[in-house]
Amino acid sequence: MTKTNVQPIPSNSQHHDTPNNKTHVIKFRVTAEEKASLELTCKLLNLSLSTFIRRAIHNVKIEKTVIVAGGGEETLTAVSTLLAQCSKVGSNLNQLARHFNSGGADTEQIRAKHLGDKFDKVAVLATLQANAERKPKAQFKQDTIGKLIDIQSRMTEGKGIGYKRWLTKRNLKAMAQTLILLEEKGLTDEGALDQRITELDTKFHDSLAVVKDLEGRMKANKELRYHVAAYTSTKSVAQQLKAAKRPAAFEEQHRAELTAHRAAAAYFKANDITKLPSPKKLEAEYAQLASEKAKFYEQYKETKEELLKLKTAKQNVASFFREEEPAQQER
């Protein structure tokens, strides 16, 4: 976690390192995006560019310093209040953890007023209890049925009789697993097995296509939320530029914010967005997409697992009968 120092320092000043015996100058080139990113980072940390780079070179811990102008007692009070609220949030989480670790014995210690106006104790506990009682999903096993091994081809590699016996036992076990699976699925003839494999193959590719589509929509939603936040937070700076008496100087001073603002505006124009969507609406949409993706991804995994099993079973049956034909001919 980034440590925040609150210091009453004269306003409009940046943090510089000492001593003043720095006599060498180093220059290097960066891209426009890298320059904007460095300037924005230094602005947020309230550090000069040279100080930021110097500390990074010496591996010095870089901390954010909040500058409070003269007479900033009100700001210090506000920061202290914010830190106190953060402490309460941590306390609430500890109470909830105690509740579930004690099996509910400490429920009475959790009070609705401690959780805040937006939380209801009953609703919070009910949700957490439901999550705690949710059964863990079975681990995905890619291939629970062993594949039959061609014993004759392996014996041509110079293997001994012991190895042949081991392969025979292994193949018998794999074939037993295959027969049990086909009996459980009711796929006792080749036609039914082929039809089921075809159905699963279609379902597998359909589920995968839906998952990829949802991932693309989630990515677009995230990108839109980023630009909406950037545009909103830098809108006032862009408006100040229009009224600035020295536009060039103002542009240089606020290059990072203006770059982000223009990038967002260009994104909106490229995507024919004339009205900014609500951030809360975008967040709700993202949550819905994530929920749908989780459902279809689970379907995709289950379908893939069954499809692999049945394809292995079909291959085992074919291999078994290929081995049986020469044996019957020898008899």
In angstroms, the CA 262 to CA 255 distance is 10
Per residue in 80-139, pLDDT (tens digit) is 666 666 666 566 666 666 655 555 555 544 444 444 544 555 455 555 555 555 555 544
Residue 66 sits at φ, ψ, to 5 deg, of -90, 120
pLDDT at 39: 77
pLDDT interval class at 329 (50, 70, 90): low
pLDDT at 152: 72
pLDDT at 140: 39
pLDDT interval class at 184 (50, 70, 90): confident
Helices vs. strands in the chain: H and E counts, helices first: 11, 2
pLDDT at 214: 95
Q: Cis peptide leading into 19, omega within 30 of 0? A: yes
Long-range contacts of 322-331 (CB under 8 A, 24+ apart): 323/148, 323/150, 323/151
Token readout for 94 is 């500890």
The CA angle 201-202-206, to the nearest 5 degrees, is 120
Strand partners, 211: none
Per residue in 145-159, pLDDT (tens digit) is 677 777 777 777 777
In angstroms, the CA 314 to CA 192 distance is 11
Q: How many CB atoms lie within 10 A of CB 57?
A: 9
Answering whether pTM is above 0.85, one says no
**Residue 16 confidence (pLDDT) above 50:** yes
Share of the chain above pLDDT 90, in %: 34
pLDDT at 169: 85
pLDDT at 124: 54
Residue 107 burial (C-beta neighbours within 10 Å; 0-12, 13-18, 19+): middle
pLDDT at 62: 62
Where are the domains positioned within the chain?
A: 4-71, 74-133, 151-330
Q: Which residues, other chains included, contact 125 with Cβ-Cβ below 8 Å and sequence gap of 6+?
A: 99, 107, 110
pLDDT at 190: 86
Cβ-contact 217, 289 below 8 angstroms:
yes
In angstroms, the CA 173 to CA 169 distance is 6
The predicted model gives 42-52 an average pLDDT of 77
Token readout for 143 is 């291939």
pLDDT interval class at 173 (50, 70, 90): confident
> For residue 27, which amino acid is it?
K
204, 206, 208, 211 alpha-carbon torsion, rounded to 10°: -140
Cβ-contact 291, 195 below 8 angstroms:
no
Q: Which residues, other chains included, contact 68 with Cβ-Cβ below 8 Å and sequence gap of 6+?
A: 6, 7, 8, 9, 75, 76
Per residue in 241-287, pLDDT (tens digit) is 988 999 999 999 999 999 999 999 999 999 999 999 999 999 999 99
- Under DSSP, the state recorded for 4 is E
Q: How many CB atoms lie within 10 A of CB 133?
A: 7
- CA-based nearest residue to 15, from 40, 51, 41, 44: 51
